[in-house]
Amino acid sequence: MEKYRAYVGSYTRGESKGIYMFDFTADQPVFEPKGTVEITNPSFITISDKGDYLYSNCDEGVAAFRILPDGDLEYLNRHSVQGLRPCYLQVDSKNEFLVSSGYYDGKLTISRLNPDGTVGEVTDEVFMKSPGSVISRNNRCHVNCALFTPDEKYILAVDLGMDQIKVYQFDRSTGKIQLKDIVRCEIDSGPKHIIFSNDKKYIYLTHENANMVTEYRYIMGKKGPKFEKLDQESTLPPKFTEDNCAVTLKITDDDQYLFVTNSGDNSVAIYRIDEEKKMDKMCVLPVSGIYPRDIYLFPDKQHFVSVNQESDSLTFFGVNYEKGYIYMKGRPIHVPCPTCIATKKLD
């Protein structure tokens, strides 16, 4: 059976040490602890396209690790992003550039990656401007997420505070970016996380304040990316009236099911993507944890793990797609203040 290594990032407050490592198999929602790597506040981690390197945010900016054959991490370096600690990272397919998103300072940073995997110089940076005060959540730029388009000619930066997706053209030869377009979301909806479908034809976006997920058709035109809004659905159960934030989202490898986590309701919403590419809400059910910050779908599509920041836990579930419900699989695992998860298939 194929074996995988999971890396769980955390906020290093209290007993938390940094990145927690676990081994598991493709069809069994059971994590075997494999140690920790100490680093300050690795609240987001990402793995290079070929699985050779892991990159984490940290108080100093960003950190690079080599992933060894057994899944363990070898520390390479830390490098400043010339701003506050970023909240989201993405690496291009050639492992030449790292994009960092700054929630606290509204900054988008492009860093060059060296051939040995270390993080190098900052090639470009944009401090986004807004009318709000420094402490304002709305009307103040908060770059919550940024990722490359499939052709890697553009970068999509989600600005939660300004309710926008900013489209930057990316010059690989220089590492520079230039604003080309702005996709405006509903006012005060708080766009948060964005992903592409695996066939790269659709985009899904959560809205933290409005508790919605929006689907766009993604089209590359002569003048750049175009977004055609197709569908928008609530992430909450009927009659829910308490505070909630729609957080992160993941899609199955076959693009048939979309998962979105809710913080407040502390649940996962699951949608079927029908033949017309519309989202059909299958269920909204509790994840037995508080503030599900991230989620990982197992390779067999039949299981997932919820990363619950405020209950210090990972909880595991099976999914019955035919009847539309989830069910708990095994006991929760204690991880102090977990925030994110990334995985790699081991050789």
Which helix (H) or strand (E) element contains residue 205?
A: strand 202-207
DSSP code of residue 68: P
Note whether 272 and 319 are within 8 A (CB).
no
pLDDT in tens, 314-323: 999 999 999 9
- Label residue 239 by pLDDT band (50, 70, 90): confident
pLDDT for res 326 = 98
- Label residue 27 by pLDDT band (50, 70, 90): confident
pLDDT for res 298 = 96
pLDDT for res 66 = 98
Compute the average pLDDT of residues 107-117: 98
Q: Please spell the DSSP secondary structure of 252-277, one letter per residue.
A: -TTS-EEEEEEETTTEEEEEEE-TTS
pLDDT for res 129 = 76
Residue 213 has pLDDT above 60, yes or no: yes
pLDDT for res 305 = 98
pLDDT in tens, 116-150: 999 999 999 999 876 544 445 556 789 999 999 99
Q: 331 — phi, psi (to 5°)?
A: -85, 150
pLDDT in tens, 257-281: 999 999 999 999 999 999 889 999 9
Give the C-alpha separation, 257 to 227, whole Å: 21
Residue 39 has pLDDT above 80, yes or no: yes
pLDDT in tens, 84-99: 999 999 999 999 999 9
> What single letter denotes the amino acid at residue 33?
P
Q: Give the tokens for residue 171.
A: 């010059």
pLDDT for res 218 = 96
- Label residue 334 by pLDDT band (50, 70, 90): very high
> What single letter denotes the amino acid at residue 347?
D
pLDDT for res 230 = 97
pLDDT for res 169 = 98
Residue 185 has pLDDT above 90, yes or no: yes
pLDDT for res 170 = 98
pLDDT in tens, 47-78: 999 999 999 999 999 999 999 999 999 999 99
Compute the average pLDDT of residues 17-29: 94
Share of the chain above pLDDT 70, in %: 97
Domain residue ranges in the chain: 1-38+292-347, 39-291
CATH 2.130.10.10 fits 39-291, yes or no: yes
Note whether 337 and 50 are within 8 A (CB).
no
Share of the chain above pLDDT 90, in %: 90
pLDDT for res 281 = 97
Strand partners, 158: 145, 165
DSSP code of residue 330: S
